[in-house]
Amino acid sequence: MLLKCLLYGNAAVSLLSCVFFLFVLRESNLGKWEKLPRERVSGGILGFLALLAFIPDVEPMFPVERYLGLLIFLAVVLSVLCFLYIDHLFARSLAGILILGAHATLAETYAADLRFSSFFAAMTLLYGTAGIVLAAKPYFLRDLMRKCAASVWWRAGTVFLLGMWFLSALLVLSDLLSR
């Protein structure tokens, strides 16, 4: 069940990102979109949802059943602190989702022993690595948007990689659903 949710999420995010870079982002509206990586409210909400979604990842340190209330409280406190003190909050929240999502999806995919999982693993490695780079240099998201708005080659390359990510998630999901 978790693997299906993660694969649907990967497919949806990659498809929405393709649509954004292909049809929405243009030089005429770049001024509006290049503010997104520094956006605090949407970054705070995205970061809070990411913290809640990945609470099970702390299982080795804290039994989730026993400390669930405390972990949710800590997620709220951490979200407020991040909202108050972190710059480029949306980009960093997105980076955290990419990194933790790559880890969770790969762990579930390896356990399921599906066809096309090696292609999916390679694509997941790419977007997990993109998350690590984005966490280190959050202004790269703004720079990517600027390059994609100005150059058709950057837009085509970005859409191609996001499309391959969508295809890999779709192939693994189709194999999972056919069993």
Walk along the chain (179 residues) and give the pLDDT tens digit of each residue. Answer: 788 999 999 999 999 999 999 999 999 999 999 999 999 999 999 999 999 988 888 888 888 889 999 999 999 999 999 999 999 999 999 999 999 999 989 888 887 878 888 899 999 999 999 999 999 999 999 999 999 999 999 999 999 999 999 999 999 999 999 87
Tokens of 139: 């202004």
Are 51 and 59 spatial neighbours (Cβ–Cβ below 8 Å)?
A: no
State both tokens at 9. 């999420």
Amino acid letter for position 37: P
Whole-structure pTM value: 0.92
d(CA 158, CA 164): 10
With 0-12 / 13-18 / 19 or more C-beta atoms within 10 angstroms meaning exposed / middle / buried, residue 6 is buried
Residues 6+ apart with CB under 8 A from 170: 11
